[in-house]
Every structure is written in C-alpha cells, then in structure tokens.
C-alpha cells in the first residue's frame, strides 16, 4: 500500500512531477554527454599515446624502464612465453629490442629510436603494415629498415635510400650499420614520427649485438583497463627479475593530464547537479507544504510516522530515479550518435591534436560506467534530499498539521 500510495502521489500533481522529471532528464543528458565526450577524448589520447604503439602493458627486465639500457636485455624463454599467453586479458604479445642510435645521411644526422620488431606479430596485433605510406612492409629476413615519415622528411630521404645508424650496442659493443629504407611509415605523433626506425628482429640482434635477446615485450590487450588487469595478473606470476608496467606507469604525464581535466568535468557536474538538487529540493518543499494536512490525517488515523517517512522517501527517490533512467535513455542515442559520427576538429585544432599524437576527432565514449555513474549520482542526491522530509515527518504533530 505504501508503494501504491507513493506511486499515485507522484502523479497527483502531474505538472510538478513533470518539471522535476524534465530537470533531471536535462541534467542527466547534459552531464552524460559531457562525460561521454570527455571519456572519448581520454580514450583517444590513451590509445594514441599508449595503445597503438607501446601497448597498454609491457614486460622488461627489472630496472629497464628507468635506465633504458640494452645491457638489461633478456631472453624470451618458453616458460616466460607460456606465462604471458596464459594470463587473462592478454590477446598476444610482441617482443622488441629498443635502442638509440644516431641516424645520419650526408651531413645531416638525427637521434633516433631503433626498434627491432617481430614483423609478423606487429602486423597482426597492431597493423603496423597499414601505416606504410611508401614502399613495402618488412619481412623477417630483410636487412633493411622502415622509418617514420617525420624522420624521412627531416633527413630528406625516401625509399631505397640508405641510412647510416651509429650507436652503442649490448655490453659496450658498437652498433654501426648501413641500411636501405624499404618503407616509410606514418605515425600520428610527430614526436614519434621524427624518431622511429624499425628493423626486423634478426637484423636488430645483429646491429645491437643482442642476438636473440630482447628488451621489451609489448602485451596486446583489448583496451586500457584490460592492460592494467593483465599487468597486475602477470606481476603475480613473474619473479623479481622482471618488471611489468601498465600504460599508466609508463605515461604518468598523460595520467596527470587526464586527472586534471576530469577534475574540471567533476566541478561542472557538481554545479549542474547542485542546481538540480536545489530544484528537486524546492519541489519537494512545495509538496510537503501542500500535503501537510494529509500527513496530519494519516498520523491521526494510525499511520506510523516511519511508514509515512518511507512513503515520501520512496516518492522522491522514484521521481528522481525515473528522471535518471529517462535521462539515460535520452542520453544514450545522443552519445551513440557522437560515437558513430565523431565531431571533426577544424584545421588548426587538427594540427594541434596531431602534434600530440591524437586522432583529430571528438568521439563520445559508450563506456557503461559513464551511464551508471549518472544514475547513481541522482540516486544519492535524491536520497540525501529525502533525509529532510524523512526527519521532518518523524516529528510531525497531527493536530497542528490538520489545522494548517
């Protein structure tokens, strides 16, 4: 009966309920869309910065990330390989040898990042072959290289030209080599594009004198969260000889930037929900004033105050949750539209975005937590607001209210 009464009371003043619902729906749509686009931007940033190239998780020898020394190269043993492939959320892995060398041609030189890759795995797991803008993709036995388009334009090189690489190899060996350029690859991030030199693993082993050793294992996971989970699971399995790092640990600046931006979003959301909260509170006060006499009668005829309080609490919560659900139903298609039809940046912003290695679009995210969070926030606000009538009705004086 309490529920029936609450439900009917909600609809006894349709206009008031309508206004409360409209307010809530508006807030939820606005807030969800804002957070969805923000989350989409973060996903884009994370995927561009971490996902596409360095992966959401990596395995190294302990201390490698700090020193970046080839001397910390290690062997990819069968047992290590098995532990990695048997880890939850890991869809595959890509071994790499990372080192630094001076890339030179004629009188021009540039510091570069030389990466020895398993050409087949890089192709399968993150489509490196699709980034080839000129030339053809490497094969495992090639003694050739692919370079980033930024480096190519800096050194004024094209395919079939030869690039000289000079650096330090494993345990102080000199790493010197002359390699034909087989392909030029395009990377969103100009920073990466100006530095990258790819060579097949075999050639890299020769160049750095690391032979079969590798410095990095990039874990392929479906998304950034899975990357974190996979890194956590693998950490439990591997001994202290190895370090397993997730994308957050490898990109602390990115995490800080996202956190700072999220805080701004939360401030906006807080203001929005404060306005809505006061709106709901206002309509609730009106409702309380309007029904004083009725509450008095209910207590007079024998309704316990606690039941009365629960009834009003259910009313407030139901309207708010209903508003939140309708808001989410309205917000989802809007977010879905901006997910499938992302907003394209203007030319100037596109250039800026590309400088940061990001895709130049504003794409909404459809992450379920975004939608659930809004419903939860509304439920919390409504519950907090409902404390006031709850307490007030506990102290109700039937005679006084019936006289009002």
Binding site for other proteins (CB under 8 A): 1, 5, 8-9, 11-12, 293-294, 297-305, 307, 398-399, 402
In terms of CB distance, is 302 or 333 closer to other proteins? 302
Relative orientation angle of helices 387-394 and 368-385, to the nearest 10 degrees: 30
**To which H or E segment does residue 202 belong?**
helix 201-208
CB of residue 4 vs other proteins: minimum separation in angstroms?
8
Give the residue carrying structure tokens 């929005």.
272
In terms of CB distance, is 302 or 368 closer to other proteins? 302
CB of residue 19 vs other proteins: minimum separation in angstroms?
19
Phi, psi (degrees; rounded to nearest 5) at 294: -60, -40
Strand bridging mode 145-148 / 57-61: unpaired
Tell me how far apart the alpha carbons of residues 271 and 5 are, in angstroms, rounded to a whole number. Answer: 33
In terms of CB distance, is 172 or 302 closer to other proteins? 302
In terms of CB distance, is 110 or 307 closer to other proteins? 307
In terms of CB distance, is 244 or 299 closer to other proteins? 299
Give the residue carrying structure tokens 């990042």.
113
In terms of CB distance, is 79 or 404 closer to other proteins? 404
Residue 285: partners with Cβ closer than 8 Å, 6 or more residues away: none
Tell me how far apart the alpha carbons of residues 392 and 223 are, in angstroms, rounded to a whole number. Answer: 49
As given in the structure block, the two tokens for residue 378 are 């509304």
Strand bridging mode 92-105 / 174-185: unpaired
């Amino acid at each position: 009966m309490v529920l029936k009464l609450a439900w009917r009371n909600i609809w006894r003043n349709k206009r008031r309920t309508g206004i409360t619902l409209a307010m809530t729906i508006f807030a939820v749509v606005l807030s969800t869309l804002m957070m969805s686009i923000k989350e989409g931007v973060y996903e884009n940033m994370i995927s561009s910065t971490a996902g596409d190239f360095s992966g959401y998780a990596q395995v190294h020898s302990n201390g490698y990330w700090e020193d970046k020394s080839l001397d910390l190269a290690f062997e990819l043993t069968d047992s290590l390989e098995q532990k990695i492939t048997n880890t939850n959320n890991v869809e595959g892995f890509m071994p790499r040898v990372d080192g630094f060398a001076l890339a030179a041609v004629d009188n021009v030189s540039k510091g570069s990042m030389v990466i020895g890759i398993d050409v087949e795995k890089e192709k399968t797991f993150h489509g490196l072959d699709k980034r080839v803008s000129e030339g053809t993709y490497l094969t495992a036995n090639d003694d050739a290289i692919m370079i980033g388009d930024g480096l190519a334009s800096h050194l004024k090189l094209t395919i079939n030209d030869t690039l000289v690489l000079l650096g330090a190899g494993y345990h102080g060996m000199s790493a010197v080599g002359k390699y034909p350029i087989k392909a030029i690859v395009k990377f969103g991030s100009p920073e990466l594009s100006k530095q990258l030199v790819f060579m097949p693993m075999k050639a890299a082993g020769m160049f750095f004198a690391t032979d079969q050793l590798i410095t990095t294992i990039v874990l392929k996971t479906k998304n950034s969260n899975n990357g974190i989970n996979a890194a956590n699971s693998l950490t439990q399995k591997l001994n202290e000889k190895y370090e397993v790092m997730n994308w957050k640990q490898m990109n602390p600046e990115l995490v800080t930037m996202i956190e700072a931006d999220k805080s701004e979003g939360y401030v906006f959301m807080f203001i929005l929900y404060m306005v809505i909260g006061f709106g709901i509170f206002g309509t609730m006060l009106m409702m309380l004033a309007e029904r004083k006499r009725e509450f008095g009668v209910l207590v007079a005829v024998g309704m316990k105050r606690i039941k009365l309080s629960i009834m009003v609490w259910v009313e407030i919560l139901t309207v708010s949750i209903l508003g939140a659900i309708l808001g989410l139903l309205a917000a989802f298609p809007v977010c879905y539209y901006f997910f499938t039809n992302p907003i394209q940046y203007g030319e100037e912003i596109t250039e800026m975005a590309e400088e940061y290695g990001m895709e130049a679009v504003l794409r909404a995210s459809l992450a379920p937590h975004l939608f659930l969070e809004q419903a939860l926030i509304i439920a919390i606000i409504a519950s907090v607001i409902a404390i006031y009538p709850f307490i007030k009705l506990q102290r109700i004086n039937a005679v006084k209210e019936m006289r009002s």
